[in-house]
Amino acid sequence: MTTDTLQQILDQLAESDENTTTLGDNWSQGRAAFGGLVAALASLGMSKQLDTAPPLRSLLTSFVAPLPPGQVSVDAAIQRQGRSVSQCSANVVSGGSIALQALGVFGNARPGLRVEADRMSKPLPREEGIPFEKFAKRMPGFLSQFDGCWMGNAMPYSGSRTRKLNMWVSHRCDMSAYPAEKIVALADMPPPVLLAHYDKPIVPASSVSWGLEFVIDPAEVEGDWFYLDFDLDAAADGYTQQSGRIYDEAGRLCALSRQCMVYFERQ
């Protein structure tokens, strides 16, 4: 049986004694499953190893190979468990081959000096954006699993040459049972900002490595909509680096993203 929504995919993984679940082809982006989905599987697989999982504080992922539709397993283990911090690892496996490797840091809150993160100021309103549906034929199929809109002029293949990408995004399914995975999946949604420097599709591109740091406990995040603010930092020799901030509807900074991607120029 294949599953459709992210909630259903995670439910199956959460209930599986063998740590398996099944992906449909509606999560594809080319020949691979959407990376945010795969990283969410690793996050949940690691949290299952802990009797009482503290909040996820950071997630490091290496995208080893494309993950095709079908049955997927998550091989997760605790590397070290302390009084406050637990460190785990996970491999997401399909057909005996590793598609993604991850390290997760889970940590309980502790007393200490508090320095508040800057809040988002004057985000572009959603009604001024370009809905995903408007250019659905040009975009990966997995976007149909989300509500959202492109803000500004950084849509892929717009030829705008911008270094800034902004999006409003929300899950179409109920993700309240998976607060960390809710954000993990959304945080990987922005494509390479570099693609806005091209005016014709398709320039193949994919993530190589990704780091996500949570500024607050994911369980404290309220609301379903998130504002993604990403910057192109550099691009050369077929590799591009970008960084981003993920805010909730109230303008509170939830997480920080850092990503290395590859792209393949048309010859």
pLDDT in tens, 54-81: 999 999 999 999 999 999 999 999 999 9
pLDDT for the residue 239: 97
Percent of the chain with pLDDT over 70: 97
What does DSSP say about strands 20-23 and 225-236: parallel, antiparallel, or unpaired? Answer: unpaired
DSSP β-bridge partners for residue 230? 165, 244
Please give the CATH topology (third level) of the domain spanning 6-107+126-263.
Answer: Porin (2.40.160)
pLDDT for the residue 122: 78
Q: What is the mean pLDDT of the chain?
A: 93
pLDDT for the residue 2: 45
pLDDT for the residue 3: 55
pLDDT in tens, 100-114: 999 999 999 988 898
What does the alpha-carbon distance between residue 40 and residue 38 come to, in Å, rounded to a whole number?
A: 5
Q: What is the 3-state secondary structure (H, E, C) of 189-244?
A: CCCCHHHHHCCCCCCCEEEEEEEEEECCCHHHCCCCEEEEEEEEEEEECCEEEEEE
Does the pTM surpass 0.75? The reply is: yes
pLDDT for the residue 210: 98
Asked if 241 and 234 count as a contact pair (C-beta separation under 8 A), the reply is yes
Asked if 56 and 105 count as a contact pair (C-beta separation under 8 A), the reply is yes
DSSP β-bridge partners for residue 167? 150, 228
